[in-house]
Amino acid sequence: MKKILHRYIYKRHIQNLAAQIKSAVASLDDAVPILIVSYNNGVYVDHCVRQFNARSVKPIVIDNASRDVETRTILADIAAAKKAFVVRSAVNMGARTGFQGPIYDVLPEIFGYTDPDLLFNEHLPVDFIQQLIDVCGYFKCFKAGFALPYQVNGYNLTDRRMKSNLGNIVPCERLVTVPQWESRFWNKPLRHDRLEVYAAPIDTTFAICHKKYYNGDFFDAVRVAGNFSALHMPWFPDLDLLSSQRRSAYLKGNKSSTWVTN
């Protein structure tokens, strides 16, 4: 009985969030909605919103029931200043909140989705959204997004490790460094007449999603490098906006993260 009640309540939470997102999308008229998923990382959300605003994009922030006071204050300020639409979930649904059935269903054929902890390329084309839409069409893939270089002049790379779970038949779990994990995403270059493109899966790093090309593979994607490359700020201590104490607390409370705290 408790499980049935829990499922009912959870379903209501999803439906409520879907209604909020549907309203926000309608307010954008015909613009491609860009969704930012948030959870106890307000400084990153604020930074990400500012980057989109600088490119004439008003994003939709999905907050996953953040409890952090600073984050809640930042989101309230963002909403009050109308820099973004802030929609709030009553429960933490994880980084893939936007892809839950009722929520995904209210999103249009084409939308963008991202975690907030990216530093955009200063040379990112003004029409980057349209170009990524075109890339989806060119390769007929579900997602087209930013490549994430990890060897960057002037920035040291973190020595933190992440949990790697590979193997469908015989599981293989180990701890790997950023280069050990990310290098494989640069091994499959694709031919394109103008852009540097790689066949590589994308989870919730920034990407344009095109429902028309969804074939059942959530990670079906290409990554665009060059002027589309972005930096994943937590990989670089000099760029990380979270203090070590806040990051430790964030990682412990974020079940969707694969990063370890030491």
pLDDT value at position 95? 96
Total domains in the chain come to: 2
Q: How many CB atoms lie within 10 A of CB 151?
A: 10
Q: Would you say residue 108 has pLDDT above 80?
A: yes
Domain boundary among 79, 97, 116: 116
* Residue 128: exposure state from Cβ atoms within 10 A (0-12, 13-18, ≥19): buried
Are 223 and 202 in contact, with CB atoms under 8 Å apart?
yes
pLDDT value at position 80? 99
| CA gap 260, 86 in Å, rounded | 29
Are 149 and 231 in contact, with CB atoms under 8 Å apart?
yes
pLDDT value at position 11? 84
Q: Would you say residue 1 has pLDDT above 60?
A: no
Residue 246 lies in a domain: no
H or E segment to which residue 23 belongs? helix 2-27
Q: Would you say residue 190 has pLDDT above 80?
A: yes
| Residue at token pair 């953040």 | 66
Lowest model confidence (mean pLDDT) among 34-38, 93-97, 150-154, 242-246: 242-246
Q: Would you say residue 29 has pLDDT above 80?
A: yes
Domain boundary among 116, 137, 161: 116
Residue 249 lies in a domain: no
Q: How far apart are the first and last CA of the chain?
A: 40
Closest CA to 93 of 113, 120, 115, 64: 64
Domain membership of residue 4 as a residue range: 1-116
| CA gap 217, 201 in Å, rounded | 10
Q: Would you say residue 261 has pLDDT above 70?
A: no
For residues 112 and 126, membership in a common domain is answered with no
- What confidence tier does 165 reach under pLDDT thresholds 50, 70, 90? confident
For residues 7 and 50, membership in a common domain is answered with yes
pLDDT averaged over the chain? 92
H or E segment to which residue 1 belongs? none
For residues 96 and 133, membership in a common domain is answered with no
Are 42 and 70 in contact, with CB atoms under 8 Å apart?
yes
Domain of 103, CATH number, reads: 3.40.50
For residues 95 and 159, membership in a common domain is answered with no
* Residues β-bridged to residue 114: 36
- What confidence tier does 257 reach under pLDDT thresholds 50, 70, 90? low
- How is 81-115 classified by DSSP, letter by letter? TTSSEEEE-SS---TTGGGSHHHHHHS-SEEEEE-
Residue 250 lies in a domain: no
Q: Would you say residue 255 has pLDDT above 60?
A: no
Range 230-243 average pLDDT: 94
Residue 258 lies in a domain: no
Range 74-103 average pLDDT: 97
Q: Provide the CB-side half-sphere exposure for 145 (13 A, CA).
A: 29
Lowest model confidence (mean pLDDT) among 4-13, 20-29, 129-138, 190-199: 4-13
Domain boundary among 100, 116, 132: 116
Residue 259 lies in a domain: no
For residues 73 and 173, membership in a common domain is answered with no
Range 27-39 average pLDDT: 97
Closest CA to 209 of 224, 199, 196, 219: 219
Alpha helices in 89-243 (DSSP H): 101-106, 128-139, 178-182
| Residue at token pair 């499959």 | 188
pLDDT value at position 51? 99
Are 46 and 70 in contact, with CB atoms under 8 Å apart?
no
Residue 28 lies in a domain: yes
Residue 29 lies in a domain: yes
Residue pLDDT, tens place only, 9-18: 778 999 999 9
For residues 16 and 100, membership in a common domain is answered with yes
Residue 256 lies in a domain: no
* pTM (2 d.p.): 0.91
